[in-house]
Amino acid sequence: MSSAARPEGSARARWASPELRAGLLRRHTTERRFRALGTAAIGTAVLALASLLGVVLWNGVSALRATEIRLEIAFDPELLGIPADAEPGALPELALSADFAAPVRAALQQLFPEVGGRQDLRALAGLVSSGARAELRSRLLDDPALLGRRVSLWLPADDEVDMLAKGHSRRDLPESERRLSDAQLAWLDALEARGQLRSGFSTAFLTRGDSREPELAGVRGAAMGSLLTLLVTLALAFPLGVSAAVYLEEFAPRNRLTELIEININNLAAVPSIVYGLLGLAVFVNAAGLPRSAPLVGGMTLALMTLPTIVIAGRASVQAVPPSIREAARGIGASPLQVVLHHVLPLALPGILTGTIIGMARALGETAPLLMIGMVAFVVDVPGRFTDAATALPVQVFLWADSPERAFVERTAGATLVLIVGLVAMNGVAIWLRQKFEQRW
C-alpha cells in the first residue's frame, strides 16, 4: 500500500466508524423530530383557526335569517286613537301618541278567538315582536292612505319564537324550563299550518341599528361608526406617519436627540392600547371639550395608537431603497427633496401602504381606547357625521356578548363575522397595493 493511500483509507475508516454513524443518526433523528414538531404546530394553529371560524359561521350566519308572522292588520282610526278625518300633514304628530299595538292584538284575537283572559292574551301578543309597532307606524307615515284599510303584513316575531324556528331552542323540554309555554307552541303550530309563519333570509341585520330587542338589533350603526372612525384615523395618521418616517430617515441629523426620538417611537408602538384611551379622554374630551362617543374623537385617539406603527413601517421601507438610487438622482442634479419625492417615496410606497393598512386593521379591532372615550353608549340611530354619537364593531360585539338573551349570541357572532370580513378585506387590499406598486431593481 502506498503512503498516499493510507490517509484515504484511514479517513474512510473514520467515516465508517460506529461513533460517527451514531452521531449522524442522532442528528437525523433530531432533524426529523424538529420537522414533526413544526408540522404539528402549524396543524394545531390551522385547526384552532378553522374551529374559531366554524363556530363564528355556525352562529353568525343565522343572524341573516329572520322569523316573521303574517297578520291581517286593520289600520282602524278608532283602534289607533287617531281621528278618522285627520289631515295627512298632521299624521306624523298624531302617530307619536297612537296605539299601534292595538291592531296587532286585534289581528291575533281574530285568528284565535277562543283565547280569553288577560294573561293568555298577553302571551298571545308576545308572539309578535314589540318592534312591530314601529314598523306599522313607519308604513302608515309612508302611505297615509292606509288609514281605515286592512292589509296583510309580515311582522317580526319575538326573539324566543325566532330561536325556536331556527332550532336554537328545544321544544321537548318541560314547560317550566322553556321561555315559551305549551299554549304558545300550539298557537305557533297553528300559524305554521296556516302558512302564516316563516323563517328565511333577511338583510335586516345588516341594515338596522342597535336595539334592546335582539330580533330587531342590527350592525349597520356600529359598521358606520367604525368606518367614520377609521377615516379620521387614516386622514391623521397616514400623512403624519409618512412625513415623520421620511424626515427621520432622509433629513434628520444623526445626534442624541434623533436617537432619543427613535427609541421613544419604538417604545410607543408597544404601549397598551388602553393608555391611548386614557390620553384621548384627558386631551380630546376633557381638555379640548370634543363630544364624547363621537367618531371624531375615536379616530383621533386611534390615530395616536397607529402613528408609531406607520412611522416604523415607513422608515423600514425607506431604508430598503438602495443608496444607488439616491446617488444616481443626485448625479443628474436632483435636489434632496426631489430625490425623496420622485425616487425614494415611489419605491418605498408598497411597504408604507402595507404598514399603514396593517396599522388600520389593528385600529379596526381595538376596543379598550373606544371604551375610555365613551363609544360604549347604547346608540340606536345610524351615525351620519363625524360628531354624531356612535359605537364601533368591536364595542358592539362586547355589548352584545354581555347581554343575557340567547338571541344575542347569534348577533354577537354575526357582528364578529362582519368584523372578520372587514379585517380580511383590509389585508387583501394591502396585498393588492403591494403587488401593484412594487418595483424591482
Cell of 25: 443518526
Torsion on CA atoms 285, 290, 294, 298, rounded to nearest 10: -50
Domain map of the chain by residue range? 66-202, 220-437
Query: Is the CA virtual torsion 380, 383, 384, 389 positive or negative?
Result: positive
Residue 14 has pLDDT above 80, yes or no: no
Residue 70 has pLDDT above 90, yes or no: yes
CA 300 to CA 297: how far, in whole Å?
Answer: 5
SS3 content of the chain, % helix, strand, coil (to 5): 70, 5, 25
Q: At what angle do helices 101-111 and 132-142 cross, to 10 degrees?
A: 110
pLDDT tier, 8 (very low <50, low <70, confident <90, very high otherwise)? low
- Total-model pTM: 0.84
Residue 10 has pLDDT above 70, yes or no: no
Residue 220 has pLDDT above 90, yes or no: yes
Length of the chain: 441
Mean pLDDT of 99-123: 91
Fold of 220-437: MetI-like fold (1.10.3720)
CA 267 to CA 261: how far, in whole Å?
Answer: 10
* Other CB atoms within 10 A of residue 161 CB: 28
| Nearest by Cα to 63 from 404, 436, 397 | 397
Please tell me the predicted confidence (pLDDT) of residue 111: 92
Beta bridge partners of 197: 69
378: left (phi over 0), alpha (psi -120 to 50) or beta: beta
DSSP per-residue codes, 164-178: HHTTSS-SSS-GGG-
The label of the residue with cell 410606497 reads 349
Question: Per residue in 15-34, pLDDT tens?
Answer: 667 777 788 888 888 899 99
Residue 86 has pLDDT above 90, yes or no: no
Cell of 205: 341585520
Type of residue found at 441: W
pLDDT tier, 440 (very low <50, low <70, confident <90, very high otherwise)? low
Q: What percent of the chain has pLDDT over 90?
A: 43
CA 234 to CA 239: how far, in whole Å?
Answer: 8
CA 103 to CA 195: how far, in whole Å?
Answer: 20
Higher pLDDT, 85 or 357: 357
pLDDT, the chain, mean: 88
Type of residue found at 263: I
Question: Per residue in 341-399, pLDDT tens?
Answer: 888 998 898 889 888 988 898 899 888 999 999 888 788 888 989 999 999 999 999 99
Mean pLDDT of 39-51: 94
Give the C-alpha distances (Å, rounded to integers) separating 312 from 246, 249, 366, 429: 11, 11, 20, 20
Mean pLDDT of 412-418: 91
SS3 161: helix
Please tell me the predicted confidence (pLDDT) of residue 281: 92
CA 68 to CA 204: how far, in whole Å?
Answer: 12
SS3 66: strand
Question: Per residue in 158-190, pLDDT tens?
Answer: 999 999 998 888 888 898 888 899 999 999 999
Cell of 260: 432619543
CA 277 to CA 22: how far, in whole Å?
Answer: 60
CA 17 to CA 353: how far, in whole Å?
Answer: 58
